[in-house]
Structure formats: C-alpha cells, structure tokens
C-alpha cells in the first residue's frame, strides 16, 4: 500500500478496483468510509463500498483513464473515464477525502448515459 500523496493513493485504489482486485482496493478505504453518488447511493462502510464496486466492475472494462486531477490539503478531485463493456467512455468526477493514507469519503458525480444505451 502506498504511503505517498493523496493522488498516489487514489490512483492505486482506482487501479485496484477497476482491475477487480478488491482485497487491495479495500486496504485504501477507512472502515467507516462514506460514499455518496449522484445516483442516490449513500454507503457508510468499506464492506458496503466494496460490494457495490464488485457489482459495478462487472459492467466496465478493467481500466480507467485519468483526464485531470487536483490535490488539496484534504484530498483529491479526479476527472476520469471508465469504459462500458462495449468500450463506450463514461465521464466521472470524484472527490476523495484522504487522511492518514486512507480514503475517508468519496463523492461521485457521473454521466449514466453510456450505461443506458441499448437497455430497455
């Protein structure tokens, strides 16, 4: 696990969960991490976050692409792309609060449209 900057921690976390390595991803999460999204999700434990990510990871390719990132004293704002099973890019913006090398909270805003194309 990284003892580096918040951005290095977030990058390692993103690499892990998108590769479906949830054991490694979990090492970056505080036990009482708070996750909220524009999709009306609100989770309050690392176990719940990892369960949600495991289900979601089945819908994406095992990679992510950073577009931009800004780090401040408390955390990191990352704009990135995930890719659906068909390869369509989905744009996401995520703010991660990091303390003591652990993700304390994650606030996600994303465009669900690429995941809805072709669904009825």
Question: Could you read off the pLDDT of 10-30 as tens digits, one per residue?
Answer: 999 999 999 999 999 999 999
Closest listed residue to residue 9, CA positions, set 83, 108, 94 = 94
| pTM, two decimal places | 0.91
Question: Could you read off the pLDDT of 59-97 as tens digits, one per residue?
Answer: 999 999 999 999 998 899 999 999 998 899 999 999 999
Structure tokens at 73: 């004293």
Secondary structure element (H or E) that encloses residue 92, with its range: strand 89-99
Give the integer Cα–Cα distance in Å for 74 and 97: 6
Has residue 106 got a pLDDT over 70?
A: yes
In DSSP terms, 60 is beta-bridged to 84
């Amino acid at each position: 696990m990284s003892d580096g900057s918040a951005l290095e921690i977030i990058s390692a976390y993103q690499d892990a969960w998108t590769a479906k390595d949830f054991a490694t991803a979990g090492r970056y999460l505080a036990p009482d991490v708070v996750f909220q999204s524009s999709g009306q999700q609100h989770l309050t434990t690392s176990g719940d976050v990892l369960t949600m990510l495991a289900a979601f990871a089945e819908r994406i390719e095992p990679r992510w692409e950073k577009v931009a990132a800004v780090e401040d004293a408390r955390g990191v704002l990352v704009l990135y792309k995930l890719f659906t099973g068909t390869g369509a890019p989905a744009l996401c913006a995520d703010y991660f609060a990091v303390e003591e090398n652990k993700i304390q909270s994650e606030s996600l805003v994303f465009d669900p449209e690429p995941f809805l194309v072709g669904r009825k």
